[in-house]
Every structure is written in structure tokens, then in C-alpha cells.
Chains A and B, each alone.
Chain A
Amino acid sequence: MKFLSEYRDPALAQALARRIRETATRQWTLMEVCGGQTHTIVRQGLDELLAGAVEMIHGPGCPVCVTPLEQIDRAVALATRDDVIFTSFGDMLRVPGSDCDLQQVRARGGQVRIVYSPLDALTIAERHPDKQVVFFAVGFETTAPANAMAVWQARMRGIRNFSVLVSHVTVPPAMEAILSAPDNRVQGFLAAGHVCAVMGWTEYEPIAARYRVPIVVTGFEPLDLLEGMLLCVEQLERGTHEVVNQYARAVTREGNAPAMRLIREVFELKDRQWRGIGTIPMSGLGLRPAYAEFDAERRFALEDIVASEPVECRAGAVLTGQLKPHQCPMFGTACTPERPMGAPMVSSEGACAAYYNYGRFRTARAAATAGAGT
């Protein structure tokens, strides 16, 4: 596939990995804050190629995983109603709420439908005028233009039986929260390429300057990630802390103007809770008053549904790199991929889930080596 497959070239990947290892005079700790990038790193085994030169901490980059428990409970409550068709992206279906997940609601008879695009949810609303159609508007800034368009079109086309349950988060405040934590270990960031395709990278310049960390806007294929890591390591070796764009084929400094316009038209910044981390001020998006009628939380009076996360869950510490998954007391016992307690175990690319599988392998290999030595 053009503009995809060539960025998976094994020989170039090996060459990049070699260059990273040659450039690093010590091990550096980097973080990516993007579920898609975590996916590639874990699925392609990139961290193995960089052992000794780069330690990657998988940040809170999966909006599905950081959706607060409360929003899941509200989603479940809506989906359970007879008069509601609840629509969502696929990956939300298995995220556990306080009681159950959306997939279980569907099993119990709730109308839950997976859609690929928010506009499909709008079409469902048009086709079912007798029902209320709610769309679970989850995402980072990458998805905000799409969700904004769905709400804007609902208003323009007068589709009154449509509303959105919003759980939008933004990346820069999360980065700052991580960097300002007293025991922060992150020395450089890979910024999410598609978030920046929409928003540009101007928001990262003050962060790089204030915290003196290099930030590299990076794509999603193996060569993109490796090149992004190399650019970060080169800066760290040099002692510079600039924002640099690796993903030049898709990102400009100013971002996508029409997309940003519609985001600003429909959404405004607000405080948001991140599952496992807590509230980060001004880190989320909510509907502006002009679009309040499309807010499912208002339409269905969901404010009474509140939830508190299990205190034993150490997701926050894992997501900010302070704790390795296997150091969490719940890891592998009370908390497994089949019965996840917190965000990083929910997604198969979450730090805890990835470690659950990769860690077992490392343990097995270590045991085999030890056995062979006797």
C-alpha cells in the first residue's frame, strides 16, 4: 500500500536501529502519547531493536483507555434504555464500567451498534426517527473534527433525535502533567502525528522550552517511529530541546485550518478526568452552549451517575512511567486482560496488557536460560 508499506522496509529499519544504538552514549527514556504508535512499537517489537539505547514508556495515548469510569457507566446507562440506539467506535465495547461493559449490555438486549464514522451514527438517527440515537464521541484531537462535523450537521439538518456523549481529551496538558510530576523520568517525547496533522505543533513549543525536552512529531509506521526516536536521541545527545517534525508528509506547523475552525465552533476546552490519572485541568473538550441540546449528558440527565475508580489500580503511575506494570500489586492477579481494572490493561496495546504478554515471554526465556546453565 502506497505511503504505508515502504515505511516498513526491514533493511532500513535495521539501519535506523543501528544508527540509534551508535548515536546513544547512554540509555535515554522517551515517551510516546499515542495508542497507534504504542500499537506499532509493541506489535513490531521495536523496543527489542533498541535495547540499551532507548527505553520507551507508553504514555496515556489511548483515548479509549483513559475514558473515565464515569463516562462508561453513563454510556451503559444510555445503552440500556429501550428508546436509545447507542452507537460507538468498536474499541469502546470492551472497556469495563463499574458493573459491566457495552458488549454485555448488548448481550442483555440493549441496542448497541458499532460504527466506523460518526456520520454513520447520524444516518442511523435519520433512519430511526422513533428512537434516540446517541454517539459516544471519544478521542483525542484527531477525532475531534469528525465528531464536531457530526454535531454540526445534526444541527444544520435538524436531526433532533441525535446526541453525543462526549469524552474528548487533548494531548499537551497530559504531557505537562507528566513532565511536572516530581519523579518524572521522561526525557523526550514523540508527539502523535495525526493529532498534529489536525492541530499543528505550535502548542508543543512552549512545553519543549519550559521543561527543556525535545519533542519530535512522529508518524506511525516502523520507519517513522525509529526515525522519530533517532531525532529525539540526537537532540538529547546534543543537549537541545526543540520541536521537530519527522512526519513531514502529513503534518505542517499550522495544522489543518478548516478542521480547527469547526472544532472551535462546536467544542470548548474544559477540565477532564483521565481514568487512572485523575482530573487534568483544561485537558478536554465539551460542547459549546450553542450546541448544548446535542449533549447526551444534558438530554438524559446523567449528572447523577458518578463513579470512583478502584483505589488499588495504579494505572496513573504506570501511565506516567513511575511504575512498571509488574510492580503493581494487582498485576496478573486481580487485573488481567480478561478482567481489566484500569486503562492500561483494557487495550491490548496498553502498557500493562503488553507487558502481561511480553513479560511472560521474557520470564519464560530467562527461566530457560537459567535452566540451561545448570
Chain B
Amino acid sequence: MSATLDPVAGAGSGAPAPTIASTGLTCPVPVATHAHVVLGHGSGGKLSARLFAERFWPRFGNPILGQQADAALLEVAAGTLAMSTDTFVVRPLEFPGGNIGDLAVNGTVNDLAMMGAEPRWLTCGFVLEEGLPLEVLDRVLEAMAAAARATGVTIVAGDTKVVERGKGDGIFINTTGIGMRRAGWAPAPDRIRPGDVVIASGPIGRHGTAILAARDDLGLVTTVTSDTAALWPLVDALHGACGDAVRALRDPTRGGVASTTNELAKSSGVGFRLDEASVPVPPDVTAACEMLGLDPMYVANEGVLVAVVAPEAAAAALAALRSHPLGAQAARIGAAIADHPGMVTMRTHVGGTRVVDMLPGDQLPRIC
């Protein structure tokens, strides 16, 4: 276009003067198609709306979310609600076996499940870092949607904010979940009695090892993948088979089976005695942990539960777990005992006794 924007210059040259409408003026520079998150995505304006419409809605879409009201309205039957919240930060965001989105849904779903509550609704709040590639966001949202569908939870509310480059690790996600407790069943550590059987639903040590190996500064090449999964189906199966003979449930996330059993021991006031030879550890986890000097008992899991069940129900509990793909390798790993209340000991591979203590902090790769 050769015309200038100067109406005066245009007049008198014989060419029709370009007109400028006095209303509806917008900046002629089109809204760019961004490949990365920019600050505007969090501002609540058009960019935010587009982000939601183009990326969140197609994946999470449901009638409640569709109302786009200030709050979601939920109809609940009488009973006890369980509610839990968790915030997810992980580096790297994407790792063998999943991404932060899987953790964000499954982690909160599992916290509800450990209370014997069927997960129903989830909120998700995002803090995105300026510069995050949108295709990463897409994969995270895809994973969340798939995880939610698999478990039957509905994402009913959410929020997105953006922080400046350097002020966030790519993505932080907070999810809050609400579930409905099954009537007549309230799994809790104070129900544990000496003689109860301790069961692990599957092989341990996968998630934490996969994360550590994915940070390529250790140079480790391994086949270990994260075990992130929603555990409600296992809990449902356990309840169906054993009812309230399932005394307590807990998922051994940060700190691993060692920390979880310690927490149960302290809360319940009984002791635990585990059997090292019975704890299922996949060979590739063993190999990677040997190399780094890590103890799989302290490594985080995201798809395993620890169940404490009355002794007469142990066989039925194992059968129920093993009938589900997630629980195929469920194993009895120990028992609650009257000895040393609040402490966890373990019969070692060679028949000695070891105290399984709580670590003061994260396990670090060691050289000695």
C-alpha cells in the first residue's frame, strides 16, 4: 500500500483519500501467535482468555467448568467429604513415565484415596514462567486430562498466573481435591494393632530414581520410569474385598516406604518390623540405586500404596490387589508388632536387624 496516513497529503492528488474510522480503532499489529508463555497470558485479558479457550478448555471441558463462573457449584450427598491440596514442583518437568501434569492429578487423587474417599472433583492452579514453550504446557495439560479421565475426577475450577522469567521453574501446579468417604470405613493409623500385616501394592523406588536419572548431570542411562498412577481403583478393590479390616493406607511419596512406615508407626504408637527380602524392588531400580549409593527404601514412589490390614484379611487383600494391573506385584512386607513402639526395624537380607530411621533431609548420592 502506498497511501500515507496523512489525509491532507492524500487530498488534492486525485486519488481517493483513505478514511480513518473514528471508532473501533485497534492497533493494526495482529495479536501474535506465541510459541511461549508471555506475561500477558496471566493478565486476565484477551491473551489469558485465548490461552484458556485454546489450550485448557478443549482438554478439561465439562459443564461445571463451562459455566466459567467465579466458583463451581457442586451437589453432594450426605456423608463425609475428604479434601486435600498439594503443590507440585519437579525438575525436569517431563521425565520417563510422565510429566508434572500426571503427578498433579494422581498425587492429589491418591491423597484422597488414602483416606478411603472416592476422588470426585479437582481444582488446578498454575503458575507459569514467562518463556515456557507452549507445547510443553500442551503436553502437561494433555496428561492431566488423561489422568483425570482415567480416574473419573472432574476438573471444576482453575486459575493461571504468569511470573517473570527466572522466577519460576517452568510450571508450578497446585491441585486441590475433594472426595466422598465410603460410609462405615475410616482408615487411620490409630486403628493399627500389633499383628496387623503390612502390604506394599507394588515394586518400589521407581519415581525418585527416574527423576534423578533424568537430570542428566549424573550421566546415568537407565530404563527406570516413573510409576505415577491413580491408586483409587486399588483402594476400591481392597475395600470391596476386606471392608474395614483395612486399618490404614498411605502412599509412600517423598521419603519412600521408610518414611511412610515411620509416620505410621509414630501415629499409631505400635512398632513395625519389615522384611528386606520381601520388599519388591525392580532390578533396574536396584542397579541405578547401587550406582548412586541410594537406598530404595527412601526413594519416592507415585503409584504405590502401603496398606495395613488385619491378619485374617491379609490373603484376601493381596488377592484383591494382585487382580489389578497396578497391584500385580503386591507383597506382604512386614507386620505391626508390640515391640519398640513408634519405631521401624527390618530383618536384613542376611538375617541381621536394622533400624529403619527417618532421614533428616533428602537422600543424596554418596561416594562412601
Contacts and interface: CB of A to CB of B under 8 A. Distances in A.
Q: Do A and B bind each other?
A: yes
Contact of B367 (A47, A143, A337, A358): A143
Contacts of B360: 94, 337-338
B368 A63 contact: yes
Interface string B88-119: 00000000000000000000000000000000
Interface string A1-43: 1001000101001100000000000000000001110010011
B355 A35 contact: no
A64 to B, nearest CB: 6
B354 A115 contact: no
B367 A222 contact: no
Interface string B257-290: 0000000000000000000010000000011001
A365 B340 contact: yes
B366 A360 contact: no
B343 interface: yes
A45 B352 contact: yes
Q: Select the residue from B353, B360, B361, B367 with max chain A CB neighbours within 10 A.
A: B367
B344 to A, nearest CB: 10
B80 interface: no
A61 B367 CA distance: 12
Contacts of B290: 1, 4
A279 interface: no
Contact of B341 (A48, A89, A364): A364
Interface residues of A, number: 49
Given A115-B217, A116-B219, A45 B340 contact: no
B367 A368 contact: no
A117 interface: yes
A170 B61 CA distance: 65
B368 A361 contact: no
A120 interface: yes
A120 B286 CA distance: 24
Interface residues of B, number: 33
A42 B354 contact: yes
B225 interface: no
Nearest to B341: A364
A46 interface: yes
B292 interface: yes
Nearest to B365: A90
B197 to A, nearest CB: 21
Given A64-B367, A91-B364, A120 B350 contact: no
Given A337-B360, A348-B359, A365 B339 contact: yes
Contact of A64 (B353, B359, B368): B368
A269 interface: no
Contacts of A4: 290
B364 A94 contact: yes
A47 B354 CA distance: 10
B219 A89 contact: no
A120 B353 contact: no
A357 interface: yes
Contact of B354 (A43, A114, A120): A43
Given A361-B340, A365-B340, A46 B350 contact: yes
A364 B350 contact: no
A93 interface: yes
Q: Select the residue from B295, B338, B355, B359 with max chain A CB neighbours within 10 A.
A: B355
B27 interface: no
A276 interface: no
A360 B343 contact: yes
A49 interface: yes
A49 B367 CA distance: 27
B30 interface: no
A64 B364 CA distance: 13
Interface string A84-103: 00000111011000000001
Contacts of A49: 350-352
Contacts of A338: 360
A268 B170 CA distance: 47
A62 interface: yes
Interface in B324-368: 338-341, 343, 345, 348-355, 357, 359-361, 364-368
Contacts of A47: 352
B218 interface: yes
Interface in A42-75: 42-49, 61-64
A55 to B, nearest CB: 15
Interface string B303-341: 000000000000000000000000000000000001111
Nearest to B295: A43
Contact of A90 (B345, B348, B364): B364
A49 B349 CA distance: 12
A44 B349 contact: yes
A113 interface: yes
Given A1-B290, A364-B343, A368-B339, A44 B352 contact: yes
A358 B354 CA distance: 7
A371 to B, nearest CB: 11
A117 B292 CA distance: 11
A90 B343 CA distance: 28
20 contacts: A13-B351, A39-B368, A43-B295, A44-B350, A44-B354, A45-B350, A45-B351, A45-B352, A46-B350, A61-B368, A89-B367, A91-B367, A116-B292, A116-B365, A222-B350, A337-B360, A361-B345, A364-B340, A364-B341, A364-B343
Interface of B: 217-220, 277, 286-287, 290, 292, 295, 338-341, 343, 345, 348-355, 357, 359-361, 364-368
Given A44-B349, A91-B365, A365-B339, 5 more contacts: A39-B368, A44-B354, A120-B219, A337-B360, A364-B341
Question: What are the 9 closest A-B residue pairs judged by CB atoms, nearest first?
Answer: A45-B352, A35-B368, A90-B364, A13-B350, A90-B365, A364-B340, A357-B357, A91-B366, A357-B355
